[in-house]
Amino acid sequence: MRAPAAIVPQWWTPRGRILEWWRPTAWGRPAPPEAPDSALSFVGMVTFTFILLIAPQWTFPALKEVRPALTSSLASVIALLVYRFSHHRQLFVMTREMWIAGALLTWSIVTVPWSYWPGGSVSFLLAVYVKSLVIFWLLVNTLTTPRRIRRIVWTLALLSVPLALVGIRHFVTGDFYQRGKQFKRILGYGAPLTTNPNDLALVLNLFLPLTIALLLITKGPFVRATLVGVITLNVIGIFATYSRGGFVTLAVIFLSYLWKFRSRRERRYTWGIVMCLMLLMLVGLPFLPSSYVQRLSTITDISADKTGSAEERWADMVTAFNMTVRNPFIGAGIAQNILALNEERGRAWSEIHNVYLQLALDLGLPGLLLFLALLWLVLRATLQVQRETADEPDFRDLFYLAEGVNVSLVAFMVAAMFHPIAYNFGFYYMAGLALALRQTWLVYKGTSWSSADPIVAANR
């Protein structure tokens, strides 16, 4: 479906033909599979992913001066735009989901004058949220072939290993911080996304389905054994964080694959997974501290939490809900739910550990509805790829990768009830992968570009 005809810039080629290199369409037009985009842009994306998760600047402080994450992401954007401009291609793809993300950003800006702290909202927009949206856009525009998607998924799977190992090491060596008088938590990984053990569990949970997808794709015994090892480390790392939300999210991932495998040939893996989990529980349960079992029991009985954190979070959620009911439209301003809660129930300087209430309190119901629309559409994108590639043996990789991203998004939906992560990279990274998979599949299917386009016709 194309937008109404409009006057667009044109490019005069050496052969004397006028080519439209910028043609607005309703769904965008990715490059054909025979002509992938800039390799330098993809390298910049992989580099940014490494820096985002591993944070080498914390190990080597001198790197902070060059701001490696910002530098690599900007280099990737510039390389992509220069490559597409020089090859007379549409500069960027804009899907319906990306327009919704842009509308959410616009609404965040519109509400700044009514924010509890306008300067803080502006700073947060520039320092965090805009970056998340740029990476979201960059993933969709850079991951234009199945090979690139596989490589970025491999990158995420392999980078989860040091994260899990550090969490396990903290648990084994007793690197804890005190949480209340009778409970301790391990330290997280020394990077902005995973400093908190809850955030570490979240990242490991989001990457776990992607690793399972690689396991289903891969045939070599050595590589499969390596992936099984990565999955095992991730699961142990999640347990080591003592995260209640992480445990619930892990259970949802397990149940999701039980459901998806129920009528497929992969169901034989289900029994293997069940047996391995039972064996792991029988062997490992005696070594788990009694505090771990007690902590899990507070999921259903918050009054049993001796640290008081469960009751505090529940009280904050009730307060946030009541404040949203009283002021449903504008909200407190992006990232200002802390100040709003301080004014309502006293100064505790804690965030709402619930994405949906966080958005409702910060941006009002319009912001929450825009986010839910974006979440639903990226979920539907993964389901579309699964449905259309299920009977396509040549696109087996896309099917399993879409399934993995789908489970990761479902895991995020559950984890969102326990984490203050409405604006972080986690969701937007999975959303970018979902749209990249759909756009790549549409290109290979031949439905997302016009066969009359002379550029495409020359490349097909």
Quick: pLDDT tens for 117-145.
999 999 999 989 999 999 999 999 999 88
For tokens 């992509």, the residue is 80
pLDDT value for 147 = 92
215-253: per-residue pLDDT in tens?
A: 999 988 999 999 989 998 999 899 888 888 898 999 899
Task: Write out the chain in H/E/C secondary structure.
Answer: CCCCCCCCCCEECCCCCEECCCCCCCCCCCCCCCCCCCHHHHHHHHHHHHHHHHCHHHHCHHHHHHCHHHHHHHHHHHHHHHHHHHCCCCCCCCCHHHHHHHHHHHHHHHCHHHCCCHHHHHHHHHHHHHHHHHHHHHHHHHCCCHHHHHHHHHHHHHHHHHHHHHHHHHHHHCCEEEECCCEEEECCCCCCCCCCHHHHHHHHHHHHHHHHHHHHHCCCHHHHHHHHHHHHHHHHHHHHCCCHHHHHHHHHHHHHHHHHCCCCCCHHHHHHHHHHHHHHHHHHHHHCCHHHHHHHHCCCCHHHCCCCHHHHHHHHHHHHHHHHHHCCCCCCCCCCHHHHHHHHHCCCCCCCCCHHHHHHHHHHHHHHHHHHHHHHHHHHHHHHHHHHHCCCHHHHHHHHHHHHHHHHHHHHHHHCCCCCCCCCHHHHHHHHHHHHHHHHHHHHHCCCCCCCCHHHHHHC
Average pLDDT, the chain: 82
317-334: per-residue pLDDT in tens?
A: 999 999 999 989 989 999
178-223: per-residue pLDDT in tens?
A: 655 545 778 888 888 888 899 999 999 999 999 999 999 998 899 9
Compute the half-sphere exposure of residue 273: CA atoms within 13 Å on the CB side of its CA.
19
272-285: per-residue pLDDT in tens?
A: 666 666 666 556 55
Per-residue CA distances from 158 to 153, 169, 198, 225 (Å): 9, 17, 20, 13
Torsion 108-112-117-118 (CA) sign = positive
Write down the pTM of the prediction: 0.85
